[in-house]
Amino acid sequence: MAQIYMIRHGEAAAGWSEDKDPGLSDLGRSQSEAAAKTIMSREASTLPVLSSPLRRCQETSGPLATAWDQTAVIEPRVAEIPSPDLSLEERGVWLRQIMTGTWAETEAPIGHDLDLIGWKQSVVDALLELKTDTVIFSHFIAINAAVGHALGDPRVICFRPDNCSVTVFETQGDNLTVLEQGSEAETKVN
């Protein structure tokens, strides 16, 4: 059994339709410092720290990893939802469309081969494979994929995790349970 703190990255310097891999804004850096303090106040000892390979998550993980004298381990399965090879503007439109439906309704545009249901399962598998309490820095839709699985909710978006919100899961065998849903806000998905 493991307890997993899944933290959405801090505010990015740009959105999905502006930059494929933005770093953090000044606010995002402040949010990541606050998230590190939150986790350290809840845990008496250090935990493994995992991060999506994307810059905004790696930068968000920095304050906690540094405080715990470690480097975040990159876990590609908790990266943001894969997108078709579209222009930045088209990618933003595509993302907004799939966010309104269910996982069964997700389709890649014609000529693009994406298995989004398989991606969702890989996010869940990454969590279920953890045997020790862990902190993971991830993304809006990846966190929703895990929450949706745990709750049996077929929607792509079950809730709107705010930047640096902390969602807490527990794993037990093949079961994933939401212990605490992170704070919500109407934030730009980036």
Per-residue b or e along 140-173, where b marks 16 or more CB atoms closer than 10 Å to that residue's CB: bbbbbbbbbbbeeeebbbbbbbbbbbbbbbbbee
Report the 10 Å Cβ neighbour count for 85.
Answer: 11
Kindly state the tokens that stand for 124: 């869940």
Query: Domain for residue 89, yes or no?
Result: yes
Average pLDDT in the 163-172 region? 98
Torsions phi, psi for 91 (to 5 deg): -65, -40
Q: Is residue 190 part of a domain?
A: no
Pick from 151, 141, 103, 171: which is nearest to 9 by CA? 141
> What is the residue range of 149's domain?
2-180
Backbone angles phi, psi at 90, to 5 degrees: -65, -35
Say what the pLDDT of residue 189 is: 57
The proportion of the chain whose per-residue pLDDT surpasses 90, expressed as a percent, equals: 78
Domain count, the chain: 1
Predicted confidence at residue 143, as pLDDT, reads 99
Q: What is the pLDDT of residues 23-69, one digit of tens each?
A: 999 999 999 999 999 999 999 999 999 999 999 999 999 999 999 99
pLDDT digits (tens, 9 = 90+) for 78-116: 999 998 887 878 888 888 889 999 998 887 655 567 889
CATH of residue 172's domain is: 3.40.50.1240
The reply to whether 185 falls in a domain is: no
Q: Which tokens go with 107? A: 């389709």
> What DSSP state is assigned to residue 16?
T
Q: Residue type for 56, please?
A: R
CA–CA separation, 65 vs 137, rounded Å?
11
- Least confident range from 13-22, 45-54, 114-123: namely 13-22
Residue 188 lies in a domain: no
